[in-house]
Amino acid sequence: MTETDIKRIANIIRTQDILRRHDFNFKKKFGQNFLTDGNILSKITEAAELSKEVNVIEIGPGIGSLTQYLLEESAEVMAFEIDKTLIPILEETLADYDNFQLVNADILKVDLKAEIAKFKNPDLPIKVVANLPYYITTPILMALIESKIPFASFVVMMQKEVADRIAAKPNTKAYGSLSIAVQYYLKAEVAFNVPRTVFVPAPNVDSAILKMTRLDQPAVDVPDEDWYFRLMKLSFVHRRKTLLNNLQSAFGKDRKEEILGLLDRAGISPTARAESFDLEDFAKLSIALLPMKD
């Protein structure tokens, strides 16, 4: 199929025609906003660095605008679409592609390992490329990251505010527990911003493409990952409070002297705030407070 043979889904006239012919109604509960700008889709595909030796997982393909670009650049695309009314549309718009698998299911409820085994060549590296539903971006992302499936990378569109939080560095307003939860596993950077005018319907928020590449091993070495993440989250519960105040709230004021002693021995300031701690600092904290683990 040559470029001149390709009938692009991603333009406003064709998108509206497809939606009209299928009498499609947008469902607010699924956060449906369809891209209509081919330049943006090309940039997403380029950021994903695909090849015919890579499989792709897509979540929420809509009417197939991004999917079409992914199919042309990768070995195979497996798309998960929760809205059953979009299934006949996708079967029509992507009928010319033999490297497409469509799964009508909630990505958070499927046996993802079993689905991935259905790729024609399941041993190829797998990348996640998607325009994520904004109302459920974080649960989807964390479920995929924590699934233990070795996705090579993620290139996903999301609300700009969420992308900024994930990629944030210490001592910035956006930095928080989500930043650390993702950066523990992945290198994260905002690739580019996306104007709301390139969607149908236009969302009420700005968007961004976040690129995340899996690290060969976690960013820091800790003896107990669950304890590390628990302490990290507790430290951010009251963002403007000191580390000591947050820890006292979590473990009880009667343990103040114990907390102070452990922090002092580790050289950690009890008056510091969580927003100033990088991943190494939280690793140091988790080791220092291991005696307090239930």
CB of 263 within 8 A of CB of 244? yes
**247 burial type by CB count under 10 A (0-12 exposed, 13-18 middle, 19+ buried):** buried
Strand partners, 193: 208
261 labeled binding residue? no
CB of 50 within 8 A of CB of 56? yes
For residues 134 and 160, what is the distance between their CA atoms, to the nearest angstrom? 10
224 labeled binding residue? no
- pLDDT tens track for 129-161: 999 988 899 999 999 998 989 999 999 999 999
**Full set of structural domains in the chain with CATH:** 12-214 (3.40.50.150), 225-292 (1.10.8.100)
- pLDDT-based confidence at 6, cuts 50/70/90? low
Q: Rounded mean pLDDT of 124-129?
A: 98
C-alpha distances out from residue 225 to 166, 230, 233, Å: 19, 8, 12
Give the pTM. 0.91
112 labeled binding residue? no
33 labeled binding residue? yes
pLDDT of 25 over the 90 cut: no
| Percent of the chain residues past pLDDT 70, beyond the cut | 98
Token readout for 41 is 């889709």
pLDDT of residue 4: 38
pLDDT of 186 over the 60 cut: yes
Low-confidence winner among 3-12, 157-166, 194-203, 275-284 (lowest mean pLDDT): 3-12
For residues 183 and 169, what is the distance between their CA atoms, to the nearest angstrom? 10
81 labeled binding residue? yes
CB of 72 within 8 A of CB of 38? no
35 labeled binding residue? yes
Token readout for 6 is 């390709």
- pLDDT-based confidence at 3, cuts 50/70/90? very low
For residues 238 and 207, what is the distance between their CA atoms, to the nearest angstrom? 28
Summary mean pLDDT of the chain: 94
Chain-centre distance for alpha carbon 195: 19
- pLDDT tens track for 60-113: 999 999 999 999 999 999 999 999 999 999 999 999 999 999 999 999 999 999
pLDDT of residue 28: 77
For residues 21 and 275, what is the distance between their CA atoms, to the nearest angstrom? 51
